[in-house]
Amino acid sequence: MTIYQHLPHPHITARHAQGPVKVADQLSQGNAITRFNTKVAILVTRAVGSMWCAYAFALFDLISLPDAIRGGAASVVSWVAQTFLQLVLLSVIMVGQNVQAAASDKRSEATFHDASATLHEVAHLQSHLAAQDVLLTRIAEQLGLDPVPVIDTPSDGEAAERNLSG
């Protein structure tokens, strides 16, 4: 007989089955048209979101620089703001976002593994406590005491959460 009976939260099993969330997991899984559109969007995003594209845009923009210089200071400012910065920074910003997304995926995976390790350790602690419960029950019996079992009953909030997730 154990004094304590642990009831694991259902989210633990679901979390192990699902694994960490990654950016690639957010891709559309809909009908053929949606999947095609997603693939085209990813292809274009990868192409435009590269430093090579930023370099190509910069070279392309330099074609109109001589005309902007001949137009005076206002034309140069307009060229920098409306032509050069918009095209070149678009690609550079997308490269930065790709780097940030990759870092986010790594953090998500590390957090997932940390949580899994913590749950593993907690499970071992529960086993250790169960073994102690057996010894305490024997001691209580030898002293003529009747230990009362304690069952891990969720609070109202936890019960509601289990009903929603289960």
Per-residue pLDDT reduced to its tens digit, 58-93: 999 999 999 999 999 999 999 898 888 888 888 888
Question: What is the spatial distance between Cα 93 and Cα 51, in angstroms, rounded to a whole number?
Answer: 10
- Per-residue pLDDT 10s for the chain (166 aa) are 556 666 667 777 777 777 776 666 666 677 888 888 888 888 888 888 889 999 999 999 999 999 999 999 999 999 898 888 888 888 888 888 888 888 888 888 888 888 888 888 888 888 888 888 888 888 888 888 877 666 666 665 555 555 455 4
Backbone angles phi, psi at 149, to 5 degrees: -65, 140
What separation in angstroms does the CA of 26 have from each of 7, 16, 22, 56, 114? 32, 18, 7, 30, 23
Question: What is the spatial distance between Cα 143 and Cα 135, in angstroms, rounded to a whole number?
Answer: 12
The encoded tokens of residue 7 equal 């009831």
What would the 3-class secondary structure string for the chain be? CCCEECCCCHHHHHHHHHCCCCHHHHCCCCCHHHHHHHHHHHHHHHHHCCHHHHHHHHHHHHCCHHHHHHCCHHHHHHHHHHHHHHHHHHHHHHHHHHHHHHHHHHHHHHHHHHHHHHHHHHHHHHHHHHHHHHHHHHHHHHCCCCCCCEECCCCHHHHHHHHHHC
Any residues with CB less than 8 A from the CB of 117 and at least 6 apart, and which? none
| One-letter identity of residue 91 | S
Enter the pTM of the model.
0.53
